[in-house]
Structure 1
Amino acid sequence: MKKGIHPDNYRPVVFKDMSNDDMFISRSTIAAKDTIEIDGVTYPLVKLEITSSSHPFFTGKQKLVDTAGRVDKFMSRYGKHMQNKK
């Protein structure tokens, strides 16, 4: 590794998944505005929308999100064509 190009201020930081309230502690240099106390120790807190504990790829749980009826719209347009080909 080259000397002088990596930061020296690594410290323990809590990362919190806001979708399922899962937390883990890792070393990081990220700037955090919030803090949290765990086992009597105060850590910087970084709030995340999604982590490996809530991501469908890692959990195996898939969600089908149908926004504005896109699936129905597709079936109404192309469903007849697919039936005619059979």
Structure 2
Amino acid sequence: MKPDIHPEYRDVVFHDTTSDSYFVIGSTLKTDRTIDYQGATYPYMTIDVSSKSHPFYTGKQRVSQNDGRVAKFNKRYKRGGAK
């Protein structure tokens, strides 16, 4: 590896403000904010969405039932779909 071209890789605390969850993950994120978490001081970053709050991962995802253009055309002219 070339010296002095890689960013510093360190543990960072990410705070999901939606679900009030904390994650310690290795990152190259640069931040001036710090937090004391589980007896150690880490760089700190807030986020809006994580796997703890995103609807896909929590199972609370809404499924949109929008028909495509062909289905709308077939429905409008009372045609059955291609079989």
- Report the TM-score when normalising by structure 1: 0.62
**What is the one-letter code of the residue matched to 2:28?**
T
**Partner deviation per Cα, 1:4-53 (whole Å, 9 max, x = no partner):** 39725101100110101111101111012321101221100110000111
Q: 1:60 and 1:4 mapped to 2: Cα distance?
A: 44
Considering only aligned residues, what root-mean-square deviation do their CA atoms show, in Å?
2.2
Q: Is the 8 A contact 1:7 1:29 kept in 2?
A: no
Query: Which structure features the higher share of helix residues?
Result: 1
Question: Could you tell me the percent identity over the aligned residues?
Answer: 41
- Report the TM-score when normalising by structure 2: 0.64
Corresponding residue for 2:2? 4
Gaps of 5+ in 2: 63-74, 79-83
**What are the within-5 Å matches in structure 2 for residues 35-50 of structure 1?**
35-50=34-49
Gaps of 5+ in 1: 64-81
